[in-house]
């Protein structure tokens, strides 16, 4: 029988294919019966929350390769911008949108875990904050479109776009 982590990875594959996240879909992907998945997760809600945490774990692991946990907020924002513009995203990264009935809970979980990387707590003047927000929104749009499969950033533009986003971060840096 697959472990809980292996089942979560199967669930991520279900999302990656663009299929609905259901206990049945995860069971099929894992070669189990639905009761085998229920044994680990109990309900679709528990499964969905666990999958979102798994996706965030993956994001945080990548972000930590770019900035340490105790890095300054500005450096964490730089890491987020770099990841969002250079990471490999697919439909599984949209897991927080997988269930409309859980949207508020999943969005709160997403915000709780990723807010430290988004520069929202950097105290500076309004113009500088606007530069930081612009960099973050640029990064948000890049990863979100990539996850949706919408071609947005061409390979020959990526490094220039990253430089523009990091310039916005630098303009907002309170130093």
Q: At 34, is the pLDDT very low, low, confident or very high (cuts 50, 70, 90)?
A: very high
Tokens of 172: 């907002």
Sign of the Cα torsion 119, 123, 124, 127 reads positive
Mean pLDDT score, 6-17 = 97
Show the tokens assigned to 151. Answer: 């071609």
- Whether pLDDT at 100 is above 90: yes
Predicted local confidence at residue 175, as pLDDT: 83
For the cut 90, the answer to whether the pLDDT of residue 137 exceeds it is yes
CA distances from 83 to 15, 31, 88, 126 (A): 21, 33, 9, 25
Residues 136, 141, 143, 148, Cα dihedral to 10°: 160
| pLDDT of 1 over the 90 cut | no
The mean pLDDT value for 117-122 works out to 95
Judge contact between 57 and 12, C-beta under 8 A. no
pTM, two decimals, is 0.93
81, pLDDT greater than 90: yes
Query: What average pLDDT does range 64-93 have in this prediction?
Result: 97
């Amino acid at each position: 029988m697959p472990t809980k982590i292996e089942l979560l990875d199967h669930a991520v594959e279900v999302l990656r294919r663009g299929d609905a996240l259901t206990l049945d879909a995860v069971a099929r992907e894992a070669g189990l019966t639905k009761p085998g998945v229920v044994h680990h997760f109990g309900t679709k809600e528990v499964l969905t929350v666990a999958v979102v945490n798994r996706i965030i774990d993956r994001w945080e692991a990548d972000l930590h390769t770019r900035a340490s946990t105790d890095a300054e907020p500005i450096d964490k924002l730089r890491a987020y911008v770099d990841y969002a513009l250079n990471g490999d995203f697919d439909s599984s990264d949209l897991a927080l949108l997988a269930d409309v009935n859980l949207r508020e809970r999943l969005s709160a979980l997403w915000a709780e875990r990723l807010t430290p990387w988004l520069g929202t707590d950097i105290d500076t003047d309004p113009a500088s904050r606007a530069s930081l927000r612009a960099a973050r929104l640029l990064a948000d749009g890049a990863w979100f479109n990539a996850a949706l499969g919408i071609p947005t950033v061409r390979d020959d533009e990526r490094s220039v776009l990253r430089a523009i986003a990091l310039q916005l971060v630098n303009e907002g840096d309170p130093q």
